[in-house]
Structure 1
Amino acid sequence: MEQNLNQDNITPTSNNGDTQDDVKKDFKGLLGSTTRFLSELLDIRTNTDQEATKESIIADIPFKGHTSWILICSIFIASVGLNANSTAVVIGAMLISPLMGPILGMGLSLAINDIDTLRRSIKNFGVMVVLSVITAFLFFWLFPLRAESSELLARTAPDIRDVLIAFFGGLALVIARAKKGTIASVIFGVAIATALMPPLCTVGFGLAIGNLGYASGAMYLFIINTIFIGLATFLVIKFLRFPMVRYVNSKRRSMIARIASVVAILVMVPAMFTFYNVFQESIFTKQANDFINRNVVPYNPAGDTRFLKNFTHLDFDKGRNPTIELVFMGNESVPDNVIDTWRTQMESQPQLRNTKLKVVQGSKSGAQDELKYLSELYESKKSELQNKDEKIQMLETEVIKLSKNATHQIPFKEISEEAKTNYENLEEFGFANIITTDFNKLDTLPIFEVKWKKDIKRKQIDEDAKRLEAWLKLRLKNNKLRLKEVKN
């Protein structure tokens, strides 16, 4: 009986041990199967044709003959598309642009220590960029229509999304190139996504209209695309273990290896720095917009004063002197304690802690708009007009009267004081009514003349002038007024 009890006690223990071993074996088998499945699913080395990939990338580097004319045509197509604000035309230009070839060549040559290919890639890339900018500049300089379309403006302010698009687009492009039987649809898709040609055309547009801010912003976007596509190419070629170029001379081999390593580091460091800066600017923009939507938009000013959200201006200034500019319009000013509260709330946001809050305020005026007055006068007296000569004579008389009383029609003193308060870079401010005619009708245009301080940069002057003109149009409810700069 004692033996039976012992046997009864032993048997369950043995079964539990077998069960645990079976579970462990099943788990290891499942883990191994999953690992093999994922390895087969994600492995790109087994189906890579290294020699064909290398030859195809190198073949796309040269820039001469047919390639040069294809580039010129793509520049013109992209410029027309940007000018006409046509997304479809811009996409067509991106598809035929040969700019991607030298960029892939630079990434490949750095990864395999091929100094000759690197030299040819840089030379052809430089020629392509210079030719693209010059061609786009000539187009926009000679073409009479130079509207600042949304397609153009979209290429002047890159953010973190452009960095990610360039990097992952570059990864997709090189992986597609490395596959046996290149995936053409992927190559076309990357050409559209990374958008190398439109930024260069926007650089030409900025130079043609004399706006260096547009040109520098678009060139910054192009450099971001170039660096991160090249970096993605470098990483994929290294991951696929492409054979290094061998040189007979061991000293030359080691020297070239060091040069390639240094160049690769010089590319990666700015890439990481650029990524960080763009990422910081994106966080600033998001937190600034959240702050405005949460604190400024719900604020209910006294009287008929209202917040003009569309006139809000955010300037990150590379983190040195970030600024948020808010614009209010109406009879009542925003109290100082409210503005101080907003500044305190900004201090609680890490990215807005050192940001300057600028509040632009203007009061409404009871002065009549002279153009509206003329229109109403004509409507009330049109039954008395017998012919065109009488109409012109009557309008001329009224325009002369309005010109003599211009100081009463435009509250110049109030406007000049508000302009000086809101735009500290102003040195002189003037106003005059200009009578114009196309020999069919007369028109009166209010012209504001401004003179800026001498030590102000051109970019700052352009930004202040644009905002000042928009403010004056809204302040006086007159979209026909013009701002004229008086040179120092």
Structure 2
Amino acid sequence: MNQNLNQDNITPTSNDAGGEDIKKDVKGLLGKAKTFLFELLEIRSNTDPVATKESIIADIPFKGHTSWILICSIFIASVGLNANSTAVVIGAMLISPLMGPILGMGMSLAINDIDMLRRSLKNFGVMVILSVLTAFLFFYLFPLRDESSELLARTKPDIRDVLIAFFGGLALVVARAKKGTIASVIFGVAIATALMPPLCTVGFGLAIGKPLYALGAMYLFTINTIFIALATFLVIKYLRFPMVRYANSQRRRFIARVASLVGLAVMIPAGFTFYTVFKESLFRKQAQEFLANTVEIYEFKGNGRYENDLTDIHFDEKLGSYLEVAILGTEEVPENIVNMWRNKKNTYSRLVDTELRVLQGGRDDSEQKFNYVNELYESKKAELLTKEERIRVLEQEVASLGKYAERSIPFAEISKEAKVLYGNLSGIGFSNRVQTDFKKQDTVPIFEVKLKDGINPDAKKEEMKRVSEWLKVRLKDSTIQVREVE
């Protein structure tokens, strides 16, 4: 019995020792992982605050050589945007000196340097005015003003632009703060954040008299500026750059308060912009999901067609958001189906108060359909970001209009009636011909009639006259032409 008790006492001791060993192993593993992550992500030890500050201060002024470089880069970017050349736009961004004052604003707020902030704001204003004025003069005087996809892409910023600006700014400041600046990162951020193209687009919108283009592009530039400055502020604070000291403690406290207020003033619109754009992004995501689960999967029985490229997803919290879908063709979607779509829409949290507009072609004639499609295309032109996409949409609509033209003549009925009324006919055809006298352009319906062999010329002439008069009365169209074919 004593032997059993001794064995029972030994077993717990062994388990306790094993548990302690496991705990030590886990602690050692966690410690190694923590050390590894710290060495992997730690940047303070390899930072040169003095050199970083000097390099950013040196890039703030806009005068002399820097001004001419800016003007040249603006011209190059404007030409690239006008010619729809991505490569040229990238080249312009590489030589652009736009980042200097923005980094200066972020760092001045972080280190409490009111003089640097004043210089940064002054040079930033000079930079914006000079850039917009240069782009305006180029597009105003240049005869070719095509609304290229490169230009239109800068008129409607979204959540991705916010993220690009913020993380691009983080990468830029971290690269500038490293001992031995990483030039490739600076060039990459200059391309990614794209400060130059929005300013060129502002000048373009003002030059062609479209202020909405200019406002959209300036909004994108503002987003980039705010979030790059915000990223700079956060990184400099994290790296603990030395604060600017003032002999007068009262002045130091005053400047600190001013810097804090300015920093807060920068962060508030930045946060508001991010939140607004984020909500719009979520709205568009739910709208696309709703359309994919309802309108896009609807099966048309006839010649109806849903055109996704002409869908308008409009987000506006103040005036009201709406989804506008276009149904092309003569087939209409039944009202009960549309009501079902509206009920389905209300199951999406961000689409409850959104209006669903279903525009249907109905049985309008070809001219009305053409005007309708043309209006939709013009309203959506800014969202058709490539010439190839525009051409594809237009080709589809031209093909559809050709089908409408064929259906406007009930050819099957006409051919049956002609066979009964005119026994000398052996065949009949129909086509539309576009013709012009260089003053106006008309589309003329032409019927080609083939008569049986063995009929004398006079009888043929009389038969053709009767067929022509019958078709004009039957179709209520005096412009119809009838020709004999062999």
Q: Secondary structure at the match of 2:286?
A: helix
Alignment of 1:328-367 (within 5 A): 328-364=327-363
Counterpart in 2 of 1:195?
194
Counterpart in 1 of 2:377?
none
Letter in 1 for 2:61: P
Letter in 2 for 1:297: E
Counterpart in 2 of 1:231?
230
Say whether the 8 Å CA contact 1:77–1:93 is kept in structure 2. yes
Distance in 1, matches of 2:214 and 2:274, equals 20
Counterpart in 2 of 1:208?
207
Alignment of 1:135-174 (within 5 A): 135-174=134-173
C-alpha distance after superposition, 1:163-187 (max 9, x if no partner): 1111000000000000000000011
Distance in 2, matches of 1:141 and 1:363, equals 43
Alignment of 1:37-48 (within 5 A): 37-48=36-47
- The alpha carbon displacement at 1:285 in A equals 1.3
Counterpart in 2 of 1:444?
440
C-alpha distance after superposition, 1:244-267 (max 9, x if no partner): 100111111000000000111111
Alignment of 1:9-88 (within 5 A): 9-88=8-87
C-alpha distance after superposition, 1:117-158 (max 9, x if no partner): 000000000110111111111111111111111111111111
Mean Cα deviation higher: 28-37 or 216-225:
28-37
2:217 is equivalent to residue 218 of structure 1? yes
Counterpart in 2 of 1:114?
113
Distance in 1, matches of 2:269 and 2:357, equals 33
Counterpart in 2 of 1:290?
289
C-alpha distance after superposition, 1:198-230 (max 9, x if no partner): 011111111111111111111111100001000
Letter in 1 for 2:241: F
Residues 282, 171 of structure 1: alpha-carbon distance in 2 compared, 3 angstrom cutoff: same
Counterpart in 2 of 1:259?
258
Say whether the 8 Å CA contact 1:105–1:121 is kept in structure 2. yes
Distance in 2, matches of 1:36 and 1:121, equals 39
Letter in 2 for 1:173: L
Letter in 1 for 2:28: G
- The alpha carbon displacement at 1:82 in A equals 0.7
Distance in 2, matches of 1:21 and 1:317, equals 62
Counterpart in 2 of 1:458?
none
Distance in 1, matches of 2:231 and 2:37, equals 22
Distance in 1, matches of 2:323 and 2:359, equals 11
Residues 61, 302 of structure 1: alpha-carbon distance in 2 compared, 3 angstrom cutoff: same
Q: Secondary structure at the match of 1:61?
A: coil
Distance in 2, matches of 1:146 and 1:157, equals 19
Q: Which has the larger radius of gyration?
A: 2
Residues 155, 367 of structure 1: alpha-carbon distance in 2 compared, 3 angstrom cutoff: closer
Say whether the 8 Å CA contact 1:83–1:152 is kept in structure 2. yes
Counterpart in 1 of 2:274?
275
C-alpha distance after superposition, 1:285-344 (max 9, x if no partner): 121122222211222345423222221111112464111111123334333222222211
Alignment of 1:385-424 (within 5 A): none
Letter in 2 for 1:338: I
Letter in 2 for 1:442: F
Counterpart in 1 of 2:371?
none
Residues 367, 25 of structure 1: alpha-carbon distance in 2 compared, 3 angstrom cutoff: closer
Identity %: 66
2:307 is equivalent to residue 308 of structure 1? yes
Distance in 2, matches of 1:174 and 1:28, equals 35
Q: Secondary structure at the match of 1:11?
A: helix
C-alpha distance after superposition, 1:390-415 (max 9, x if no partner): xxxxxxxxxxxxxxxxxxx9xxxxxx
Distance in 2, matches of 1:127 and 1:63, equals 7
- The alpha carbon displacement at 1:13 in A equals 2.7
Residues 18, 213 of structure 1: alpha-carbon distance in 2 compared, 3 angstrom cutoff: same
Distance in 2, matches of 1:292 and 1:25, equals 57
Distance in 2, matches of 1:285 and 1:84, equals 30
The number of residues matched between the two structures is 377
Residues 12, 84 of structure 1: alpha-carbon distance in 2 compared, 3 angstrom cutoff: same
Residues 367, 334 of structure 1: alpha-carbon distance in 2 compared, 3 angstrom cutoff: closer
Letter in 2 for 1:33: K
Q: Secondary structure at the match of 1:317?
A: coil
Counterpart in 2 of 1:247?
246
Say whether the 8 Å CA contact 1:174–1:233 is kept in structure 2. yes
Distance in 2, matches of 1:263 and 1:366, equals 61
- The alpha carbon displacement at 1:360 in A equals 2.1
- The alpha carbon displacement at 1:351 in A equals 1.1
Q: Secondary structure at the match of 1:296?
A: coil
C-alpha distance after superposition, 1:30-70 (max 9, x if no partner): 11111111111110001100111111111100000010001
Say whether the 8 Å CA contact 1:281–1:318 is kept in structure 2. no
Mean Cα deviation higher: 309-318 or 152-161:
309-318
2:320 is equivalent to residue 321 of structure 1? yes
Counterpart in 1 of 2:431?
none
Distance in 2, matches of 1:445 and 1:97, equals 50
Residues 352, 368 of structure 1: alpha-carbon distance in 2 compared, 3 angstrom cutoff: closer
Distance in 2, matches of 1:368 and 1:223, equals 44
- The gaps in structure 2 that reach 5 residues or longer are 369-404, 406-435, 443-486
Q: Secondary structure at the match of 1:210?
A: coil
Counterpart in 2 of 1:386?
none
TM-score (norm 2): 0.74
Q: CA RMSD for the aligned pairs?
A: 2.1
Say whether the 8 Å CA contact 1:329–1:364 is kept in structure 2. no
Say whether the 8 Å CA contact 1:107–1:233 is kept in structure 2. yes
Residues 64, 15 of structure 1: alpha-carbon distance in 2 compared, 3 angstrom cutoff: same
TM-score (norm 1): 0.74
Counterpart in 1 of 2:383?
none
Say whether the 8 Å CA contact 1:74–1:96 is kept in structure 2. yes
Mean Cα deviation higher: 285-294 or 130-139:
285-294
Q: Secondary structure at the match of 2:440?
A: strand
Distance in 1, matches of 2:346 and 2:253, equals 53
Residues 181, 258 of structure 1: alpha-carbon distance in 2 compared, 3 angstrom cutoff: same
Say whether the 8 Å CA contact 1:277–1:318 is kept in structure 2. no
